[in-house]
């Protein structure tokens, strides 16, 4: 069940284009005043709306109501451009047409008058990929363009475009779309689609999209499928491999208590669940930022903010200086994570730095998200040292990819695809692609994967490239991905889903079976934390 929201909600006029107000204003003014340039260059990272904007410009130039900043969307030209079948709009992806022959052929056509429109519009995407000779061929036309020709060039990498071409284009730089605007658009789309959602879930999605509306909508598609028709925080968190806030609240509470063992136990639990420590540090910084807000501008927190109470309570437990300091430490910890022996060491080192620098007031307690105090039978520092030493060895072994890979044949690791995806350094959409693939075989340097039909929209070049690079890094050799659609549905995402369901069913069963068991489980749960720290003593 793929909705393809990105296609469905693709902006069709300037006013629908989110986050590019500065560019839209400049282009609209030029159109209204009929100050038309013959070549435009749209730059910006992927998914910010370059080709969408290019098509809207094409409509603005060819709308039968006249050149306008508000194309009607109803005339033949507008309708055909929206449907991608307007004869005078020629779209070319330079990434797949780097040959000069294509360019010559294309430009020869430019000499003839448009068939049905006012202008012949050439949209050349990823224009920096053109060969030098193709650029030269284009330059001739750019120098003396026929009056009926407009070029709209788009690129993620303007540095690679020859100056001679650049100087003949009117350049517009599209920004990465701010998180708030992406979230707003997701909210808008879900409202109109009639899908129930939780705001924190949208925040997570918007952040994962990293400024790209296309990615945000694509993630939203996934989230709706994953959440069985609704978009809820827990489900989205799980889908994105994001860190459960509960861990972060426990960490901050342990800091308030000055409880080193509890800090490490928390980190250990996160490690056991293969949560990303980098994301954890990022989330911790975000959380600290919100605590600082709660301290200084409580009005900035929305009234319906579900964590409002917890944030205010934490804001009271820490001094403002502490929060600033913890925030700095979290940022530095994240920055230095790549230099740490491994992510676990980097993360726990950051926590210990926090512990060392934040003065603890004895008896400081916080009521929300309480974590039971751990028995400190040894001085905290001694426990930390012993514990990290105990953890260090297996972690390091587990993490350093290539050495493990050399020890195990690459194919054996690949056939344990689910485990492998959990270990390679890949996140976001590329991770999701990995989670939704099945390993088929290894042919020379080609890793063959299949992705189920319903997830084939994950087959974006950027994501496959990232996944491919991560696998290459992990195995320390050049590998190529060949992904086709199909498969038996035994993808890591699917298996995890089934296991989750089974576990849940078992848990419910055992609890339902006997009230005595229920009591035991409750007591056991209360003791779990104790047992988890016993082995080090």
Footprint on this chain of Zn ion (rule: CB under 5 A): 63, 71-72, 75, 78
166 and 158 in contact (C-beta within 8 Å)?
Answer: yes
In this structure, what token pair is assigned to residue 45?
Answer: 């990272």
Residue (81 or 252) nearer to Zn ion, CB? 81
Closest CA to 327 of 342, 309, 314: 314
Count CB-CB contacts under 10 A for residue 450: 20
HSE at residue 34, side-chain half, CA atoms within 13 A, is 2
Per residue, what are the HEC states of 339-354? HCCCHHHHHHHHHHHH
Query: In 3D, which of 454, 4, 5, 17 has the Cα closest to residue 190?
Result: 5
Minimum distance between the CB of residue 65 and Zn ion, rounded to whole angstroms?
5
Taking a C-beta distance cutoff of 8 angstroms, is the pair 84, 52 a contact? Answer: no
Q: How far is the CB of 17 from Zn ion (least distance, A)?
A: 17
Q: How far is the CB of 185 from Zn ion (least distance, A)?
A: 24
Instruction: Calculate the CA dihedral of residues 290, 293, 294, 297 and round it to 10 degrees.
Output: -160
Q: Give the residue with the Cβ less far from Zn ion, 71 or 487.
A: 71
Cβ at position 119, least distance to Zn ion in Å:
13
The CB density around residue 188, as the number of other CB atoms within 10 Å, is: 12
> Could you give the angle at the alpha carbon of 43 between the alpha carbons of 40 and 48, nearest 5°?
120
Which position has the token pair 């779990």?
528
Beta bridge partners of 442: 447
For Zn ion, which is the closer residue by CB, 52 or 383?
A: 52
For Zn ion, which is the closer residue by CB, 63 or 483?
63
User: Beta partners for 39?
Assistant: 151
Q: Please, which residue, 32 or 96, has the CB nearer to Zn ion?
A: 32
Q: Please, what is the minimum distance in Å from the beta carbon of residue 35 to Zn ion?
A: 20
User: What CA–CA distance (Å, rounded) separates 29 from 172?
Assistant: 14
Place of tokens 């430019």: 110
CB of 36 to Zn ion, least distance (A): 17
Identify which of residues 75 and 312 has a Cβ nearer to Zn ion in the complex. 75
Cβ 57 to Zn ion, closest distance in Å?
Answer: 13
- Which residue lies nearer to Zn ion by CB, 63 or 355? 63
Nearer to Zn ion, 63 or 284 (CB): 63
Q: Going by C-beta distance under 8 Å and a sequence separation of 6 or more, which residues neighbour residue 149?
A: 38, 110, 119, 120, 122, 141
SS3 234: helix
Q: Which is nearer to Zn ion, 117 or 434 (CB)?
A: 117
Among 270, 311, 318, residue whose Cα is nearest residue 294: 311
Residue whose CB is less far from Zn ion, 75 or 100: 75
Number of other CB atoms surrounding residue 189 within 10 Å: 19
Q: Least separation, in Å, of the C-beta of 170 and Zn ion? A: 23
Query: Least distance to Zn ion from the beta carbon of 107, Å?
Result: 27
Closer CB to Zn ion, 58 or 219, in the complex? 58
Instruction: Using the structure block, give the residue that is written with the tokens 């609704």.
Output: 230
Compute the least distance from the CB of residue 72 to Zn ion, in Å: 4
Q: In the chain, count H helices and then E strands.
A: 25, 8
| Residue 75: CB minimum distance to Zn ion, A | 3
Structure tokens at 121: 């519009």
């Amino acid at each position: 069940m793929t909705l393809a929201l990105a296609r469905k909600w693709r902006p069709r006029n300037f006013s629908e284009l989110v986050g590019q107000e500065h560019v839209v204003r400049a282009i609209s003014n030029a159109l209204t005043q009929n100050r038309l340039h013959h070549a435009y260059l749209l730059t910006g990272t992927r998914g910010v709306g370059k080709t969408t904007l290019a098509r809207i410009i094409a409509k603005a130039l060819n709308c039968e109501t006249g050149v306008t900043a508000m194309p009607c969307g109803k005339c033949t030209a507008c309708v055909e451009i929206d449907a991608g079948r307007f004869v005078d709009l020629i779209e070319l992806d330079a990434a797949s047409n780097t040959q000069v022959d294509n360019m010559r052929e294309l430009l020869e056509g430019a000499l003839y008058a448009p068939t049905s429109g006012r202008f012949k519009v050439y949209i050349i995407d990823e224009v920096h990929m053109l060969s030098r000779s193709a650029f030269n061929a284009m330059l001739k036309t750019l120098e003396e363009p026929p009056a009926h020709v407009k070029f709209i060039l788009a690129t993620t990498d303007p540095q690679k475009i020859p100056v001679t071409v650049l100087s003949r284009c009117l350049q517009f730089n599209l920004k990465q779309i701010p998180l708030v605007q992406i979230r707003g658009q997701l909210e808008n789309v879900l409202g109109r689609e009639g899908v129930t959602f939780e705001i924190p879930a949208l925040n997570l999605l918007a952040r994962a999209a990293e400024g790209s509306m296309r990615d945000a909508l694509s993630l939203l598609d996934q989230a709706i499928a994953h959440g069985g028709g609704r978009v809820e925080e827990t489900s989205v968190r799980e889908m994105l491999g994001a860190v459960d806030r509960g861990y972060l609240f426990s960490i901050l509470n342990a800091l308030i208590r000055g409880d080193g063992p509890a800090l490490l136990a928390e980190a250990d639990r996160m490690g056991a669940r293969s949560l990303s420590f980098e994301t954890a540090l990022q989330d911790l910084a975000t959380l600290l930022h919100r605590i600082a807000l709660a301290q200084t501008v409580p009005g900035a927190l929305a009234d319906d903010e579900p964590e409002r109470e917890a944030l205010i309570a934490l804001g009271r437990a820490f001094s403002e200086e502490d929060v600033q300091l913890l925030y700095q430490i979290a940022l530095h910890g994240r920055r230095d994570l790549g230099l740490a022996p491994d992510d676990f060491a980097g993360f726990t080192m950051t926590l210990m730095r926090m512990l060392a620098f934040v003065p603890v007031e004895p008896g400081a307690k916080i009521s929300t998200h309480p974590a039971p105090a751990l028995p400190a039978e040894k001085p905290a520092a001694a426990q930390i040292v012993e514990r990290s030493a105990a953890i260090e060895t297996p972690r390091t072994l587990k993490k350093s990819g290539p050495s493990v890979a050399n020890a195990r044949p690459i194919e054996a690791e690949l056939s344990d695809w689910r485990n492998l995806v959990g270990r390679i350094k890949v996140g976001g959409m590329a991770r999701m692609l990995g989670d939704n693939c099945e390993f088929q075989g290894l042919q020379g340097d080609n890793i063959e994967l299949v992705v189920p039909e319903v997830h084939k929209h994950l087959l974006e070049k950027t994501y496959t490239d990232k996944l491919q690079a991560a696998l290459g890094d992990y195995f320390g050799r050049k590998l190529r991905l060949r992904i086709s659609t199909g498969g038996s549905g035994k993808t890591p995402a699917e298996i995890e889903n089934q296991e989750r369901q089974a576990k849940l069913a078992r848990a419910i069963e055992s609890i339902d079976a006997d009230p005595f068991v229920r009591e035991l489980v409750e007591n056991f749960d209360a003791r779990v934390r104790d047992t988890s720290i016993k082995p080090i003593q």
